[in-house]
Amino acid sequence: MKTPNLSEPACSIAGRRRITSDDVLRLRTQMFPKGIATIADAHTLLAIHRACPDQARAWETYFVESLAAFVIDRGHDGSVDEATCGWLIRVLAGDEEVIATWPEIELVLHIIEMASATPDSLRAFALDQLRLAFRPGASGAYALQRPASRGMTGFDLAYVWRILKSAVDQGRLDPSPAEAMILAEIAALAAFDDSHSGWQQVVADLCGSPDGDMPVTAVAAASRRSGWLVIEGGRDKDDQQAA
C-alpha cells in the first residue's frame, strides 16, 4: 500500500508513533465525522495504525469497526464482493500474504462475522494466516499471538470457528473447496496427537479417518484453490485512483 500524505491531526499522531484515547476522539469527530467514506480515508487510517505501535485500548475498536463498516457498505445488501475483497487482501498483506498486526486480523474476522456474505477467498485468506503460523520461522500477527504448540490449540480452534461459522451444516463442517484445501494443509502441518480434541474431531469428520490422515492431494484435486488470492478484474477504479 502506498503511504498517503497525512494531514492534521493524522500527521501529528503518526509523527509521535502513539495513539491516545483523545486522538481517537479527534479522528472520530474532526477528521472522519461521517466515518470512513473513501479508499483514501481507509488508506489514511491504516497508515496511522501502522505508524503508531503504542495504541490506546480504544484504538482497536475504532479501527476495526470503522474499516469494517466501510468495506461492508461498499457492497450490496451488506455483502462483500470479490473486487473489495481483493483490495482488502492487498492492502493488509501485500505480496507477503501475511497480516502484520492483530487488529488487522480482527478487522478481517469482524468483516466475515458482520457481512451478510463474503467471498470464499476472504475466508481462505483468514485461514491461511493460521497455516502460515506453522511454517518454520513463521512471522506475522497470528504466529505471534497463538500459544506456542506443535499442534492445534483451543485458541486456534476458536479462530477457525470464527471464520467458518457459516460453513456449519447440521452440526458438521461443510467448507468450500478453497477452505477445505487450507484446512487440509493445516492438518498436514499440525501435530495431530498434540492437538485439541475439537480439532481432532474436525479432521476426522473431514477426512473420514480417526487418526487424522487428511488426504491433502485428494482435497487439492477437488479444490478451486488454483487462484484463491487472484481476484478477477484486478484493482478497482477507486483503488487505482488512490494508489
The verdict on residue 205 lying in a domain is yes
Per-residue pLDDT of the chain (243 residues; tens, 9 = 90+): 555 667 778 888 888 899 999 999 999 999 999 999 999 999 999 999 999 999 999 999 999 999 999 999 988 889 999 999 999 999 999 888 899 999 999 999 999 999 999 999 999 999 999 999 998 888 899 999 999 999 999 999 999 999 998 777 656 677 888 888 899 899 989 998 999 998 888 887 776 655 555 544 444 443 333 333 333 333 344 444 443
Determine the Cα angle at 53 with ends 48 and 56, to 5°: 85
The verdict on residue 123 lying in a domain is yes
The three-state (H, E, C) secondary structure of the chain, written as one string: CCCCCCCCCHHHHHHHCEECHHHHHHHHHHHCCCCCCCHHHHHHHHHHHHHCCEECHHHHHHHHHHHHHHHHHCCCCCECCHHHHHHHHHHHHHHHCCCCCHHHHHHHHHHHHHCCECCHHHHHHHHHHHHHHCCCCCCCHHHHHCCCCCCCCHHHHHHHHHHHHHHEECCEECCCHHHHHHHHHHHHHCCHHHCCHHHHHHHHHHHCCCCCCCCHHHHHHCCCCCCCCCCCCCCCHHHHHHC
The verdict on residue 158 lying in a domain is yes
- Residue 226 pLDDT: 36
Domain that holds residue 98: 74-242
Total number of domains constituting the chain: 1
The verdict on residue 45 lying in a domain is no
Give the Cα separation of 95 and 44 in Å (integer): 20
Note the Cα 240 to chain centre separation in Å: 22
Query: Grid coordinates in use for 8?
Result: 492534521
Per the DSSP assignment, residues forming a β-bridge with 54 are 18
The verdict on residue 187 lying in a domain is yes
The verdict on residue 78 lying in a domain is yes
pTM: 0.83
- Residue 166 pLDDT: 77
The verdict on residue 95 lying in a domain is yes
The verdict on residue 63 lying in a domain is no
Query: Grid coordinates in use for 161?
Result: 470457528
